[in-house]
Structure formats: structure tokens, C-alpha cells
Amino acid sequence: MENMIVPLYEQLDRLRSNLISEEKEFGDHIRKWFPISVLIGIVVGFAMTLFTIFISFIAWLMGGIFPLLAMLIGGGLIILLVRWGIEDTETNGITYVIGRKHQRKGVPLEQSSEFLAAGLSIGSGLPVGREAPALIIGSALATRIASWRGIGEDEIDEAITVGSAAATGALFQAPFGSAVFAAEVPYKEDSDEPILMVSFLASVVAAVTLRTLITIVNELGFIVDLHIFRIGEAFLEVNILNSLLAFLLGLLIGLMGRGVVDVFYRYQKQMKRRFAEQQRLLIGLLLSLLSLAMGLLLIEDFYLAEGISSFDQISNFIGGDSDNYLLILFGAMVIQIIATVAIIAVGFPGGIFSPTLSVGAISGLIFADVLGITELAQVTAFAIVGMSASHAAFTKTPIASILLVLEITNMPSLIIPLILANIAAYVVSGHRSLYEGQMRSRDATLLKQLAQYDQFTEVTIEAIMTPDEKVIFATPNTLLQEILERAENTGKRTFPVLEDKKVVGIISYNDINKGIENGKTEVKEAMTKDVVKVHKDMDAREALSRFLAKDVERVPVVDENNILQGIVTLHDILLGHEKLIHLNRTFGGI
């Protein structure tokens, strides 16, 4: 496969270099994007102001209700929105935005309806963050503005980055870190550098717009107030000991993050496998509320605000002198994780920004308490370092995590311990994050290059797949030794598992060998039940993004009843585009 990808890249680079000079491209890019980014910043700033007001209004309405009951009411309303088709659990998170960006498809303006569901979720106190709905709303508005201003489909993914930066920059009043976050979050290894400067501009404009509007609203006496986060004075002397402690804190948070992410995906997988959408939402809501109720029952002075401990309320934990202080901190951290994972994984609207900062801050406080650190400025410093490390571990955005926390806390003096903790947390936490749609930057580059040719001819899966009558498959009762012989005779390494023509699993060459080694005899004992599938009318670029995001090379093609229609490989997709490029070059398409 590598031998085929390299010529493809060479052809793409050669064609692109002949079309336009770097100097002209740079100038055109600035003239085109800078005025658009200002417009996006203003519009998104207005939208985030309304979003903030709506959240505060819902919180005001729920203010006189016992917190757990308020969350139950908010969660119940969201389930009704899903039942009525107003809210879609598959399109309400950052993973959706990342997927649209990688597929080079804009976010439809209809997705800005996330305003309602997310406002209910956050305003009622559910333990979720604001960044996911902010990115969806900002991206949807930016897509519409960019299209209106003549940005073509081949660059619409850049509008998503600009809109995301503007939304988070406004909402968290951290424009620098938000721009980096928007460029960094779609990838596991680096960032979307070409649009970064434009994102900075949009983020700053949106932040200034929101701050100005909120000031006006507050002066008019409405029931809303913008929370500018202040955690208190913090100081950590830069020396070998404190540097090592910051690095150690990052390592511990990274290990915790790795475990939580693994639990998140296991829980999500089981819930999707066993329950229908509305059942998942109800179960997730009840699990979250149950964990919070346990905190109230078992932990003296248990603090409950906005789910459990919104990061802008973390100062309530600092400097505690209760006999059960360490127990309260540990309980709050565990419950925050359970309460957030329980509802985010099943599809409730909201993000993980605020919860991850809460977990990190509490981790830092536990770390300081265990070490016997009592000076308030140092304790606060470890809470801030923990916030940044936790965000890096859970989201795989280490640079943005440093910048966001520095801006939010206004603590530039902590830059060295933040960097050390983030590096440790990022490395130890593994390659996965809670943002499921992230992919490797080289994979995203491949999608971006291939997208140039989809504007001429759409390649569908049906045109490149191997039809079902030619597919070698297994059944649940097929002997492992038998399918091993098929693999060795045909050279195939992955086989769909069918029962009454329906795909019930998939088994790979490695699964077969491991099964035999462990004494298993039949395919059903060794197969993988969680199967990545595509449909024959899906365009090849969308399918490719699914291949790369799930790290698979061969998947079954099914109809709406899960009946096998064929099989398609990564090689088929690349070869299809290879032929398309050849046709365009031969007949002058480019």
C-alpha cells in the first residue's frame, strides 16, 4: 500500500505546484480570509453572547430547585428533544465537527439548534462543558459566512477551524489558546497551521465582541453575568524539586487519563450495543445523578455546583481544613469523572472542557495535600498545573492546554511547570482521547489531497467495492482452523462473519491465531462484534475518513438491514482516486 500512496502524493504535489506560486497563494489567502475572519468573529461573538445569556437564564430558572432535581428536569427535557427529533446524539459533540472538517464538508446551519439542547444541559447543572456546543455553533455560522463570501468547498474545512476558534475564544475569553485549540484538536500529533493566523484574528474579535456585549447587558440589569475565572494568587518557584514535582503530577494525571479514556470507550461501546438511543440517554442520566447523590450521602461537606465542581468554582476546594479534606477531594474527583463520562458517552449535549479542568485541579490539590504542602500560593499553583495536565491528557491538545489555562488563570509565571506536566500527561496518557474523531495528521493530509479531485467526479463505494458474491466470509460456527486455511490460501487477512446474510462480526488473521493459541475452536469465540461498516452509496472520501479514524483497512458494505452487499478496502479507495487522477490528467480535467 505504501508503494501506491507515494506516487499519489507525488502526482498531487506536482499538479499543485504547477497551478500557483507560493507568493501569490500567500497573498490571495490573506486578502480572502482576513476580512472573512473579522466578520466571523463579530457574528460568532454575538452568538456566544446569546448562548451565555440563555445558559444563565436557564440556571436562574433552576436556581430555586434542589440541584439533583434540576439536573433530572434538564436531562428529561433533552431526552424529549431527542424523541421529537430536535436533538441528534450523533451530531452534538466535537467528534462531529472534527469529522466534518476531515471530510471537507461544512457544518450545516441547522446544527446551530444545538444552542437549545446544550443550553438546557449546561444551565440545569449537568456535569458537561461548553466547548462542544460552542464549536458546533461557531462552525455552522462560519460555514455559512464563508460560503456566502465565495469560499469554495475545497477550503470549507478552514472555515470550521476559524469558527471554532472564534466560539471558544469568546466563551472562555482566552483567544490565543482557543485559536491553537481549534487548530490542534482535529489531530493527534500536530495542528492545522495554514489557517492559524486567521483563527487568531477571529478569536480575538469574537472575545472582544462578547466582552463588550456582556458589559452592556450587565449594565442594563439583566439576570446574567459573565464569569471571568480567577482562582486566586499562585506561585511556584522554578527549581529542580518543583520541576520534578510538576512532571510527576503530569505523569500521574496522564495515567489516570489513560484509564478514564479506556473506560469511556468501553462504556460507550456497551451502551450502544445493548440499548436504543433514548434508553441510553435515560440510563446515562440516572447513573450520573446516582453518583452525585452518593457524594451528598457519603461525604461530609460535599460540594455540589453545576453538576459537581465547575472549574470556575474550584476555589471552594482550595485551603480546606476539614478532617475529611482529602476524602472530600478524592470523592469529588471520582464522582466528577463518573458523572461526566456517564452522560457524555451516551450522547448528551455538552463538552468536557470544564469537567477535565475540575478533575485536574482537584488532582493537583490532592497531590499537594499528600506532599504536606500548605502554603496557599503553592497549593493553588499545583491546582492550576493539574488543570492544564488533565486537559492535555484527556484531549491530546498539549499546546492549547498550556495556553488556555495560562490565559484563563492569568498566571504566566507557571509556564515551566505547566509545560513539564503537560508533556508528561500527554505522553503517558496514550494515543487516544475523548474526542473520538481525531486522526493522525498524515491521514488528514491524505484526505485533503484527495478531496481536490472529488469536485470533478464523485467516487462512491458501490463503484469500487468487491460485490458480495465474491466475498470470502465465515459464519459464527466456522472452525478457526478452517478459516485459517482460507486466509493462508487466499492471502486475505480479514473476513466478515455472516448469520442469515447479516454481518454479525469480523475476524482478522490475528484474531484467528490468538483464538487458536487460547484454545478456542469456533469463529464466534474469537471474532470482533463491534464492526466498522459503510454503505454502497457513501462517497469514498467520507468512507476513507472512517477508515482512518478507526484505523482499519478492510470493512464490509451493508444495506439498511445490515445485510452484506460487498467489501471495500483502503487499497480500493486509493486506487479509485488514482484512476480518477489519471483520467483527469489524460483528458484535461485539471
- 289-348: pLDDT as tens digits: 999 888 888 776 666 665 555 555 666 667 666 677 888 888 889 998 999 999 999 999
Q: What is the pLDDT confidence band of residue 149, given thresholds at 50, 70 and 90?
A: confident
Q: Kindly state whether residues 215 and 294 are assigned to the same domain.
A: no
User: Is 48 within the bounds of a domain?
Assistant: yes
Q: Kindly state whether residues 471 and 582 are assigned to the same domain.
A: yes
- Give the domain CATH number at 508: 3.10.580.10
User: Is 361 within the bounds of a domain?
Assistant: yes
Question: Span 184-190, mean pLDDT?
Answer: 69
User: Is 447 within the bounds of a domain?
Assistant: no
> Is residue 119 over pLDDT 70?
yes
Contacts of 342 (CB under 8 A, 6+ apart): 267, 284, 285, 287, 288, 291
Cβ proximity of 474 and 523 under 8 Å: yes
Q: Which domain-ending residue is among 153, 184, 219?
A: 219
Q: Kindly state whether residues 169 and 259 are assigned to the same domain.
A: no
Show contacts of 427-430: CB within 8 Å, 24+ apart: 427/254, 428/250, 428/251, 428/254, 428/255, 428/257, 428/258, 428/393, 429/253, 429/254, 429/255, 429/257, 429/258, 429/261, 429/392, 429/393, 429/394, 429/396, 430/258, 430/261
Q: Kindly state whether residues 133 and 167 are assigned to the same domain.
A: yes
Which DSSP letter does residue 106 get? P
- Which is nearest to 445 in space by CA: 22, 18, 13, 138? 13
Q: Kindly state whether residues 487 and 573 are assigned to the same domain.
A: yes
Distance, CA of 555 to CA of 496 (rounded, Å): 8
pLDDT for 36-67, tens place per residue?
999 999 999 999 999 999 998 898 898 888 88
User: Is 14 within the bounds of a domain?
Assistant: no
Q: Kindly state whether residues 265 and 205 are assigned to the same domain.
A: no
- Give the domain CATH number at 421: 1.10.3080.10
Q: Kindly state whether residues 302 and 357 are assigned to the same domain.
A: yes
Distance, CA of 11 to CA of 7 (rounded, Å): 6
Show the domain range for 494: 456-587
Q: Which domain-ending residue is among 152, 186, 219?
A: 219
| Predicted pLDDT of residue 14 | 46
Question: Span 125-153, mean pLDDT?
Answer: 90
Q: Kindly state whether residues 283 and 186 are assigned to the same domain.
A: no
User: Is 6 within the bounds of a domain?
Assistant: no
Q: Kindly state whether residues 174 and 284 are assigned to the same domain.
A: no
Q: Kindly state whether residues 476 and 569 are assigned to the same domain.
A: yes
User: Is 443 within the bounds of a domain?
Assistant: no
Q: What is the pLDDT confidence band of residue 263, given thresholds at 50, 70 and 90?
A: very high
